[in-house]
Amino acid sequence: MNKLIQIAVGMMGAAFTSGAYAAWETNLTKGVTDISHEVYDLHMLVLYVCIAIGVLVFGAMIYSMIYHRKSKGHKAATFHESTKAEIAWTIVPVFILVALAIPAAKALIKMEDSSNADLTILVTGYQWKWQYEYPEEGISFFSNLASDSREASARDSGIDPATVDNYLLEVDNPLVIPVGKKVRFLFTSNDVNHGWWVPDFAVKKDAIPGFINDMWANVNEPGIYRGQCAELCGKDHGFMPIVVIAKEESEYNEWVEQQLASAKETEAAANKTWDMASLMEQGEKVYTTSCVACHQAGGQGIPGVFPAITGSAIATGDVAGHLDTIMNGRPGTAMQAFAGQLNDADVAAVTTYQRNGLGNSVGDMVQPSDVKALR
Amino acid sequence: MNAHVADTHEHHGPEKGLMRWITTTNHKDIGSLYLWFSLIMFLIGGVMALIIRAELFQPGLQFVDPQFFNSMTTMHALIMIFGALMPAFVGLANWMIPMMIGAPDMALPRMNNWSFWILPFAGTLLVATLFVEGGAPASGWTMYPPLVLQTGAAFPMLIFSVHLLGFSSIMGSINIIATIMNLRAPGMTYMKMPLFVWTWFITAYLLIATMPVLAGAVTMLLTDKYFATSFFDAAGGGDPVMFQHIFWFFGHPEVYILILPAFGIVSQIIPTFARKPLFGYSSMVYATASIAFLSFIVWAHHMFTVGMPVAAELFFMMATMLIAVPTGVKVFNWVSTMWRGSMTFETPMLFAIGFVMMFTIGGFSGLMMAMTPIDFQYHDTYFIVAHFHYVLVPGAIFSVMAAVYYWLPKWTGNMYDESLGKFHFWISTIFVNILFFPQHFVGLAGMPRRIPDYSVQFTDFNMISTVGAFGFGLSQLLFVYIIIKTVRGGEKATDQVWEGAEGLEWTLSSPPEYHTFTVQPDVK
C-alpha cells in the first residue's frame, strides 16, 4: 500500500514539474480573427456577469449561514413572501439577459454571413481524416494524423507523448490559406457526422453526410493554427486533428503552384509499370495512412468490429473482388470507397501490399493501369 | 365494510421472502426496490466513469482501446441517466408522494409493480451489450446516426432496452399523475401540496410527453438499419440532422426530468432546517411550470453547430437565455428561505446547500453556453462536460443523497450516523469539485469531449480531475455503508425526526406501518 502511494505521488510530482507538461491554460483563446476577438469579449462579458451575480447570491447565502444559525441563538423570522422582491428578481434578470443578447445576436449575424468570400475551400470529413479541396485552383488532398503521433498513441507503444512534437495535433498535409482574405469553408462528410473546429478562428461546424454547411474566417496573422474534430465520429474521433497554415498571399500563391506541379508528377507515376518492391514500399505507406486505423498495424483487424486482412478471403482471393472492395467500399459498413480517395498508383500499391504483406503471400501484382481500366 | 373486516385488513403485512418483492404492490416496497436498483446502477456507472478517468490520467493509451473507451462514455451516460438518476427519483416519488398527500398507496398499484420490474430486465439487456460481438454501443448516449448504425450486435439490444426503459417511465408517470389527481387527502388542495409533489407532478407530464418521442426516434433508427428505410440517410432522401432535432426534443425536457424533482427535494429540506416556511411557495410552483414549458422550445441549443438558419439560432438562443429567469427565481427563493432563519446543518441540509451552490455554478455555465456565438467555442468540449456534470452530480445526485439522509430515519425508524453523514458530505463536496472544476479550464483551453487520448498541454488538469474522480468514487462506498448500517439498526428515530419538519409524512410513525393513511387525514 505504501509503495502504491509512493508511486502515485512520484508520478504526480514528476508530471507536475516536467517542463513539457507545464501548461496551465485556463481560458478561451482570443484567436486571430476579428470574429474570434468578438467571441472572446462576449465570453468575458458573460463570465463577469455570472461572477457578479454569483458574488451576490453566494454572499447572501454565506452571510446567512454564518449569522442566522440556531447555535448562535438566532430566532427564525416568519416571512414567507414579498411580492416586491419577487417581481424585482424576475424583472432585473430579464434586463441583464437583453443586454447580453443584443451583442450576441450582432456577432452571430456576422458569423453566419459568408457571402463575398475571396476563396472557397470544401472540407469533407472521413473516418478518420479530412479532405481539403480548392475547387477554383483544382487542388485536392487528404490530411491524416502525423505518423509519429499515431505510433506514440498505440497502447503500450513505450513512446512518451511528451517527446512527440504537437502530439495528436499534427497532420501530414496541413490546410493552407492566405491571410487577410475572407476564406469560406464548406463542410460535408463522406460517412458519419464530424465537427471541424479551429479555436483560433472561432469556427466550429458539423460536417454532415448529404448536406453542406458553411462558415468563414479572415485570418489576421500568419501562423500555424491547430484544432480537432469536435463531433464524435467513432473509434478514432480523437485522432483526426486539423492544422491550418495561414501564409502571406505571395507565399500562398507559391504553395498553390507547388501543389499543381506535384499533382502532375503523381499522374506520370501512374502511367509507368511498377516492380514488386516499389509497389510493396508504396503500398505499406498507403496502408499506414488509409487502412491501419481499422485493420490495424499487423492486418489483424478488431474482431467483431473491423475484419482482418491477414488470411481474409477477399485479400487472398480473386484480385477483381479485392479491387472492387477497396475501390467501391462495402455499403452499410465502415468500409469506405477508396476510388475517390486514392490515385491509381496508390490503389495498385496497397492492393499488392495487402496480398503480399501482412502475413499474406498470394504472389500477384496489381499495376496502376489495371486500376485505371476499372474507373 | 364493517369494523371487524377493516381491523383484519390493518394487520395484513407483507409476504415473506423473495415473493414479497416480486409480487409486491405496496408503494413503500416498490420505492425501496427502485432505490436499491438505482444504487446498484450508480455503482456500475461509477466504475465506468473511473475507467474513463483512469485512461485520461495521462496522454497516450494506457488501459483501454479507443473503441472500448467510446463504449464506456456511452454506457456511463445511459446507465447514470436511465438506470441511476431516473429510478432514484421514481423511488422517492413512490415512497413519499402517498405519504405526503395522505394517500394509502399509489393509485395503480399493480402497474406500479410492473413499471419497476421492467427495469432490471432493461438494465440487464443494456449491460449485456458489453459482452456481445462488436462490443457495447459506442456512439454516445445521444445515438446520432449515421454513427450509431455502425454498432454491431449491441444495436437492437440498445433499442429494445431504451423502449423498455421508456415503458417503465411512462407507466410510472401515469401512476404518479393518477395518484396526485385522485388520492389527495380531503383539504389537500393543489396549492397546498408539498413542493416535491408539485415538481414530480410536472415532471411526470414531461415524461409522458417526451418518452414516446424518444421511442419513435430509436424505432426509426431500427428500421433504417434493418428494414431499408432512410429516415436519417441523405442518400435515400432522409436527413441525419432530423434525428438530432427529434432526440433533443426529448432530450431537453429529459434534462429537467432529472432536475425538477431535485428542486422539489431541496424545497422540502431547506425550510425544515432553516425552521422557516419556504419563501415564495406559489412563485416556486409557477417557476417550475415555466421551466417545464420552456424546456419544449429550446432543444436546438444542444446542436448550434449543426447548421441552422440564423433566425432559428437567434430564437433558440433567446428562449434558452429566458430559462435563467425562473431558475433564478428558485435560487433567490431558497436563499430567502435561509435568510433570517434559525439554521442547523445536519447532513440533509449540507447536501441541500451544496446542491444550491453547485447547481448554480452549473447554471452559470449554462447561461454562457446559451449564447450561440460563444457556444460555437464551447460546444463538444470539456466545458460542456463540466457544465452538465455540475448540474447532474453535485446537482441532481446530491439532491438524491439529501433526500435519502432526510427520509431514511422515517423509512427505517433508525437514525443514520450523523458524523459519518457529515464526513460523507464533506469528502464528496471536496472531491467533486476537484473532479469537475478543472474540466472548465481544459474545455476552454480547447480539449474536445469524448476523446480517449489528448494533447500534452491538457495533462495537468486531467490528472487533477482523475484524482478527484477516484476520491469521489471511493467516498460513495461510505454512502453505501451508512445506508446499510442504518437499515440494520441504530438509534431510534422519533416520528417527527427533524425539529422543523412539516408535512403529513412526519405525522406517521418511524418506520411507518406497511399500510398508512387507510383513513385519510383531514388537511386544514
Sorted by where each begins, the domain ranges of chain A are: 25-68+82-113, 119-268, 273-374
B256 is catalytic: yes
Task: Find the closest chain A residue to B444 by CA distance.
Answer: A28
- Statement: residue B3 has pLDDT above 50: no
pLDDT tops 80 at residue B427: yes
Tell me the mean pLDDT in the region B267-296.
96
- The residue among B444 and A262 whose pLDDT is bigger is B444
Instruction: Determine, for residues B335 and A64 on separate chains, whether the beta-carbon distance falls below 8 Å.
Output: yes
Q: Which residues of A176-200 are buried (b: 16+ CB within 10 A; e: fewer)?
A: bbbbebebbbbbbbbbbbbbbbbbb
Q: What is the pLDDT of residues A100-133, one digit of tens each?
A: 999 999 999 999 999 999 999 999 999 999 999 9
B354 touches B273 (CB < 8 A): no
Q: How far apart are CA A230 and CA B348, in angstroms?
A: 40
Q: Where are the alpha helices (DSSP H) in A112-248?
A: 147-153
Summarize the confidence of residues B243-264 as an average pLDDT. Answer: 96
Radius of gyration of chain B (CA): 23
Is residue A276 less than 8 Å (CB to CB) from chain B? no
Average of per-residue pLDDT across A176-204:
96
CB-based contact B62 A47, cutoff 8 Å: no
- Decide: residue A156, CB within 10 A, 0-12 exposed, 13-18 middle, 19+ buried: exposed
Instruction: Tell me if residue A77 falls in helix, strand or coil.
Output: coil
Domain boundaries, chain B: 29-507
Distance CA B457, CA A226 (A): 13
Is residue A222 left, alpha or beta, with left meaning phi > 0 and alpha meaning psi from -120 to 50? beta
Q: Catalytic site residue B12?
A: no
State the average pLDDT over residues A146-163: 88
Contact flag B339-A64 (C-beta cutoff 8 Å): yes
pLDDT above 90 for A357: no
Note the pLDDT of residue A6: 53
Q: Is A306 on the interface with B (CB under 8 A)?
A: no
- B511: pLDDT strictly greater than 80: yes
Q: Return the SS3 of B9.
A: helix
Phi, psi angle pair for A180, to nearest 5°: 70, 10
If 0-12 CB within 10 Å is exposed, 13-18 middle and 19+ buried, where does residue B5 land? exposed
| CB burial string B94-110: b at 16+ within 10 A, e below | bbbbbbbbbbebbbbbe
- Residue A16: the pLDDT is 46
What is the per-residue pLDDT across B387-398, written as a single tens digit (0 to 9) for each? 999 999 999 999
Q: What is the mean pLDDT of residues A186-209?
A: 96
From the candidate CATH numbers 1.20.1250.20, 3.40.50.10860, 1.20.210.10, 1.10.287.3510, the one assigned to the domain spanning B29-507: 1.20.210.10
Q: Which pLDDT does position B2 carry in this prediction?
A: 43
* Phi, psi of A308, deg, nearest 5: -75, 155
| Rounded mean pLDDT, B164-170 | 96
Residue A310 sits at φ, ψ, to 5 deg, of: -60, 120
Q: How many CB atoms lie within 10 A of CB B274?
A: 29
Strands (E), A208-259: 213-217, 223-229, 242-247
Question: 3-state class of A129 per DSSP?
Answer: strand
Q: Which helix (H) or strand (E) holds B95?
A: helix B86-101
CATH topology of domain A273-374: Cytochrome Bc1 Complex; Chain D, domain 2 (1.10.760)
The reported pLDDT for the residue numbered A8 is: 53
Mean pLDDT across B236-243? 95
pLDDT for res B249:
97
Nearest C-alpha neighbor of B138 from the set A161, A155, A306: A306
pLDDT band with cut points at 50, 70 and 90 for residue B6: very low
Percent of chain B with pLDDT over 90: 95
User: Closest chain A residue to B453 measured between Cα atoms?
Assistant: A238
Residues B167-190 have a mean pLDDT of: 96
Number of neighbours of residue B349 by Cβ within 10 angstroms: 25
C-beta separation of A247 from A228 below 8 A? no
Whether residue A3 is predicted with pLDDT greater than 90 in this model: the reply is no
Average pLDDT (B53-79) is 95
Dist CA B455 CA B441 (whole Å): 14
What topology does CATH give the domain A25-68+82-113?
Answer: Helix Hairpins (1.10.287)
Q: Which of residues 355-384 of B touch A (CB under 8 A)?
A: 356-357, 360-361, 364-365, 367-368, 371-374, 376-377, 379-381
pLDDT at position B8 over 50: no
Tell me the Cα Rg of chain A: 28
C-alpha cell at A304: 467483431
pLDDT (mean) for B291-313: 96
* Mean pLDDT score, A67-92: 91
Q: What pLDDT score does B33 carry?
A: 97
CA B10 to chain centre: 35
Q: How far apart are the first and last CA of chain B?
A: 27
- CB spacing of A238 vs B452 below 8 angstroms: yes
Size of interface A-B (CB pairs under 8 A): 320
ipTM of the complex: 0.91
Q: Is B21 exposed, middle or buried (0-12, 13-18, 19+ CB in 10 A)?
A: middle
- Is B234 within 8 Å of A209 when comparing Cβ atoms? yes
Here the cell at position A157 is: 507503444
Q: List beta partners, residue A196.
A: A205, A229
Catalytic residue among B141, B406, B411, B416: B141
Q: Which of B19, B160, B47, B30 is nearest to B87 (CA)?
A: B30
Q: Is B474 within 8 Å of chain A by CB?
A: no
| Upstream peptide bond of A128 is cis (omega within 30 degrees of 0) | yes
Are A211 and B239 in contact (CB < 8 Å)?
A: yes
Distance CA B220, CA B213 (A): 11
Give the mean model confidence (pLDDT) for residues B248-253: 96
Confidence at residue A245, expressed as pLDDT on a 0 to 100 scale: 97
CATH, range A119-268: 2.60.40.420
Summarize the confidence of residues B198-220 as an average pLDDT: 97
Interface contact B276-A155, CB threshold 8 A: no
Mean of pLDDT values over B277-298: 95
Q: What is the pTM of this model?
A: 0.90
d(CA A364, CA A342): 20
Mean pLDDT across chain B, nearest whole number? 94
In which band, very low, low, confident or very high, does the pLDDT at A290 lie, cut at 50, 70 and 90?
Answer: confident
First to last CA, chain A: 65
**Residue B294: all three cell numbers together:** 420552456
User: Phi and psi for A215 in degrees, rounded to 5?
Assistant: -165, 165
pLDDT of residue A13 exceeding 60, the answer is no
* Interval A210-257: pLDDT, tens: 999 999 999 999 999 999 999 999 999 999 999 999 999 999 999 999
Among the ranges given (A125-129, A319-323, B192-196), the one the predictor scored with the smallest mean pLDDT: A319-323
Catalytic, B301? Answer yes
Query: Dihedral, CA atoms, B29, B31, B35, B41, nearest 10 degrees?
Result: 90
| Choice among A329-338, A356-365, B314-323 with the minimum mean pLDDT | A329-338
pLDDT of residue B445: 94
pLDDT score of A15 more than 60: no
CA-nearest residue to A170 within chain B is B455
* pLDDT single digits (tens) B409-421: 999 999 999 999 9
Question: For residues B255 and B263, what is the distance between their CA atoms, to the nearest angstrom?
Answer: 13
Do residue B61 and residue A154 have CB atoms under 8 angstroms apart? yes
Q: Above 60 in pLDDT, residue B136? A: yes
Residues in B touching A193 (Cβ below 8 Å):
144, 146-147, 240
What's the confidence (pLDDT) of residue A2?
Answer: 53
A286 neighbors A342 (Cβ within 8 angstroms): yes
| Min distance B397 CA to chain A CA atoms (Å) | 21
How much of chain A, in percent, has pLDDT values that exceed 90? 56
